Structure 1
Amino acid sequence: MTYADMFSKVKGMLIGADVSDIHEHLAYQFNITGEAEGIFYAEVKDGQLYVEPYEYFDRDAMFTCSAETLFKIADGKTDPILAVTLGKLKVEGNIDKALRLKDLINSKKNADKAEKKQEK
């Protein structure tokens, strides 16, 4: 898997999350190690989510992990806190804001559920 493939997949997994109820600014940088190595960021600003393939210098938190670990976290198959405990995810920066990543992931899952419900 290339970096471009990984970034496209992650962006697709995160975009569409309902962040309208997140009123604080959140900026996360993700450092992907191993296969598909690279850097990207996710930012919640003014009720919108942005995911871009760049470094974010004034970030709140930085996450370092493999693409596989990130996919599992974004899918909701692995809890981010458990991933840290198991040494699969390294977190630096503002821990309180880093913990909001879970809210962002849950908002995506809730948005997906609502969309499926409307389709029925």
Structure 2
Amino acid sequence: MTTINRDQISQKPFNDFKNYPYGFARSGDFSIRESELLSTHGSLVAALVNGELEPMSAEEQSLIAVARGEKAPETQLEKAWSKYQARINRPKVGSMYGRSRYTDDSFEIAGGDDDDLVVED
């Protein structure tokens, strides 16, 4: 099995097809500069945060500290990564109409199995 080194990871463009199927630039969540930073450096940052690579510089250690929430972002890459993490981890929006009628546990049909509609003249 081949091991992935730092150069291979840093050259690989970063994509998140689950949360951003059309890319970062077309999402409207990020500026052009932020989307470029995420695309070019996102794979390396993700590998550092996931523990696949060890940090080799003070910038990489600072980036890991920002990703863990231990310090505030300072560089453009740190700000873009924290914005990305905030966007993918935001709470999901529910329906503005509440729960579905058919999935509501308190919904019961009165009268049992009589599903016929009777109209009187």
Q: TM-score by structure 2 length?
A: 0.31
Higher relative contact order, chain-length normalized (CA < 8 Å, sep 6+)? 1
Query: Where is the strand percentage greater, Structure 1 or Structure 2?
Result: 1
